Every structure is written in C-alpha cells, then in structure tokens.
Amino acid sequence: MSSLALRLAILAVGISLAVYLVPGIDAVGYGPIIKAAVLLGALNLFIKPLLFILTLPINILSLGLFTFIINGLMLLIVSHLVGGLEVASFGVAILGSIVISIFSLVTGWLVK
C-alpha cells in the first residue's frame, strides 16, 4: 500500500472516529467520509502550510495551540464542501480536529 493511500485511510478512519465520538459531527454513510478524507488531505497539503506561516506569530505565542484552531477551520471548510458531512459549530470542529489529530498521531507511530 502506498504512503498516500495509507495516510488517506488513516484520515478516513480518524474522521469516522470523530463522527462516532463527537456529538455535533454527523455523516451519512461512508461516501462522505472518504470524500472528506481526500479533500481534507488536499487542504492539509496545500493550504495548511500557508495558513501556518501566516499565523506563525500567534502560534508561537500560544505555544502551538493555535494549530488546533487552524485544524478546526479546515474541518469546518471540508464539512461545507462535502455533502453528507455536517459539523454543527466551530467549537465542535475544533473537538473533531483534536480527535482526528490524536488518532492520526498514534496510528502514525504504530505504523512506523
């Protein structure tokens, strides 16, 4: 399995876990979850580094915690673009992004 496919699979499972654990995040089937994983992966690849650089002073002052705000924003954008995936609010998006980040981090360690 290629590295890209493995990362997308981990991201899709992380989104599924967020749907299961975080009240306020809902998905209609697995299709929207897979679409969301592909779109979130693309946004993380292209847009997130730019946002991270633009918000670097705030990120330094917050000791990196502002990254969760950026991740929540990315998840909220994806939920607006993918039909069948709903995120109730920005706070819920931040909680969902924390769940996805922790799952991706732990799974990444286990896979390596």
- CA dist 34 and 79 (Å) reads 12
Tell me the DSSP string of 45-64: HHTHHHHHHHTHHHHHHTTT
Domain borders along the chain are 3-111
pLDDT in tens, 23-77: 999 999 899 999 999 999 999 889 989 998 999 999 999 998 999 999 999 999 9
Read off the pLDDT band of 1 (50, 70, 90).
low
* 21 neighbors 97 (Cβ within 8 angstroms): no
